[in-house]
């Protein structure tokens, strides 16, 4: 697991709160940052037909984030979602949804948070694990 990314402690606290509040449904949202640092997040509505077992980020939230990025706003670095089952490992369904675009996927399973880079190869042919380093940024 040679890759490492820094993430703000406050970002993780916020994501964990949204995830706990949404249980037993999956919570989801967007990650913002640049390079090897995640400095912000946004919760988004999970519009999946079965949000207890799947997530689908509201396209409106995603489009708004991309539009903001093009206008000089925060850079979309990836996505986050919870696994209320407690397993923070990407599922085969997650892999089927992920584009090989290098975006970060943060998965919350109970108290455990894991990070994955979407690309070619790795787990389910799509994810490489990334170490998280907490910061106060």
> What amino acid positions are annotated as catalytic residues?
26
Which two structure tokens, joined as six digits, stand for 85?
């089952």
- Alpha-carbon distances, residue 86 vs 3, 9, 27, 28, 74 (angstroms): 24, 20, 13, 15, 30
Burial, 121: exposed, middle or buried (Cβ in 10 Å; 0-12, 13-18, 19+)?
Answer: exposed
Query: What is the end-to-end Cα distance of the chain in Å, rounded?
Result: 23
Residues 44-48: contacts with CB under 8 Å, at least 24 apart: 46/22, 46/81
Helices (DSSP H) in the chain: which residue ranges?
9-22, 59-70, 92-97
């Amino acid at each position: 697991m040679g890759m490492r990314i820094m993430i703000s402690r406050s970002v993780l606290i916020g994501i964990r709160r949204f995830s706990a509040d949404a249980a037993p449904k999956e919570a989801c949202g967007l990650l913002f940052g640049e390079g090897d640092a995640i400095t912000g997040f946004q919760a988004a509505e999970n519009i999946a037909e079965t949000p207890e077992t799947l997530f689908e980020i509201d396209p409106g939230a995603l489009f708004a984030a991309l539009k903001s990025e093009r206008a000089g706003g925060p850079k979309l670095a990836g996505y986050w979602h919870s696994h209320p089952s407690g397993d923070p490992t990407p599922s085969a369904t997650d892999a089927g949804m992920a584009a090989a675009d290098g975006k970060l996927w943060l998965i919350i399973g109970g108290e455990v948070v894991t990070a994955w880079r979407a690309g070619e190869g790795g787990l389910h042919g799509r994810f490489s694990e990334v170490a998280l380093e907490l910061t106060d940024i």
